Amino acid sequence: METVTPAHREALADILLPIADDAWIAGQRGSEWLGMAPDLEEDLALSSISQDALGHAQLLYDVLAELGNREADEQVYARPASGWRHCRLVQTPRQDWADFVARRYCYETFDDLRLHALAGAGHAPLQSALAKILQEKLYHVRHFDTWLQTLAWGGTQSRARLQEAMAGVFSELGDLFSWGQGASALAMWNLTALSSLRPLWESRVRARLEQLGLEWPRVAAKKSDGRLGEHGPEFSDLLAEMTSVRAMEPAGEW
């Protein structure tokens, strides 16, 4: 993009915010697994992945700050719940391991496709952030794919738990594919490919589930759209907790 107009900058911010917020909330929820993973080794792996996710969000918040948003910490700590653009999939609190594996497999696979499609956007700061993110994303996708296979091949009980968890996760997929207000912005940046990621995601996940002998559950229609800032009281609680310490001295040094 040779000349970046204010409208262009705003449009790019609309495109990036849901991606950044997904990563942040995934990292925040992922951190709930600290000390709670099925074994010590996995605890280490998961913590790294959560740190990476928070780090990816930070990189994107920095790009957003450069596009005119407030600095990264302010975006995280001083934004009302309605200003967040993450999807339902990453917001659900920690449940059991089968749920987490199914959930994160779906999210990481989608995010990987989305980030690769973003590589077409001619914005240098974004491209340099993406280069760092994609390298780590590769490992995240691999990690949850390995777990998907592990639970699928882990015996009757394990497979049943995974299948059930997958059905639960699919019922929360609705707004993962939504672009909310960012839909019109995609055209401005020649990124319309981003609005048609769903069939790509479906064919990739369907093939993998088939390969592992798992059923393809029904994807429920979205009940609310996180991309439009609709997150329900569960997120207000999360946000209140997340910002509780800083609220003591919002402008202070920590």
Partner 1 sequence: MTAKEGRKEGRKEGRKEGRKEGRKEGRKEGGSVMAIEETPVYEVFVQADALSFPTHVGSVRASSPEFALQMAREAFCRREAAHDVWVARADAITKARSDSATLPRQGTDKRYRLPGGYDNAPHWKRFKAMAMTIEEVAADMRTKPGR
Partner 2 sequence: MDDVQRVNDFKARIGAGEKIESTDWMPKEYRDLLIKQIHMHGISEIMGAYPEKEWVGKAPTIRRKLALNAKVQDEIGHGQMLLRLAEDLSRPYGRGREALMDDVLEGRVKFHNVFHLEAPTWADAGVIGFMVDGGAIITQAMLLDSSYAPYARMLKRIVAEESFHMQHGESVVLALAEGSEAQRAMLQGAITRWWPAMMYFFGPRMMGPSSQKMMDYKIRTMTNEQLRQKFINRYVPRIQALGMAIPDPALYQDAATRTWHYTDPDWEWFTAVVHHNSGPMSQARLSLRREAHRGQQWVREAAIEAGRVLQERGA
Query: Alpha-carbon distance 162 to 179, whole Å?
Result: 29
CA distance 11 to 7: 6
Between 48 and 92, CB nearer to partner 1:
48
Nearer to partner 1, 87 or 151 (CB): 151
* Residue 39 interacting with partner 1 (CB under 8 A): yes
Vertex 106 angle, CA 169 and 195, to 5°: 110
What span, in angstroms and rounded, lies between the C-alpha atoms of 61 and 75? 7
- Asked whether position 207 contacts partner 1 by CB under 8 A, the answer is no
**Sign of the alpha-carbon dihedral angle for 202, 17, 183, 122:** negative
- Quote the least distance from Cβ 82 to partner 1, whole Å: 37
Q: Is 42 in the site for partner 1 (CB under 8 A)?
A: yes
In the list 10, 31, 45, 204, the residue contacting partner 1 (rule: CB under 8 A) is 45
Q: Does 224 bind partner 1 (CB under 8 A)?
A: no
Number of residues that bind partner 1 (CB under 8 A): 13
Q: Is residue 211 part of the contact set for partner 1 (CB under 8 A)?
A: no
Q: Which residues are near partner 2 by CB under 8 A? A: 28, 31-32, 34-41, 43-44, 47-48, 50-51, 54-55, 58, 72-73, 76-77, 97, 149-155, 157-158, 161, 241-242, 244-246, 248-249, 252-254
Tell whether residue 131 is a contact of partner 1 (CB under 8 A). Answer: no
252 binds, among partner 1, partner 2, none (CB under 5 to 8 A by kind): partner 2
Contact between 146 and partner 1 (CB under 8 A)? Answer: yes
Please state the closest distance from residue 194 (CB atom) to partner 1, in A.
30
150 near partner 1 (CB under 8 A): yes
User: Which range touches partner 1 (CB under 8 A), out of 100-108, 116-124, 143-151, 214-222?
Assistant: 143-151
With CB under 5 to 8 Å by kind, the binding choice for 142 among partner 1, partner 2, none is partner 1
Which of the listed partners (partner 2, partner 1, none) does 153 bind, with a CB threshold of 5 to 8 Å by partner kind?
partner 2
* Residues near partner 1 (CB under 8 A): 39-42, 44-45, 47-48, 142-143, 146, 150, 155
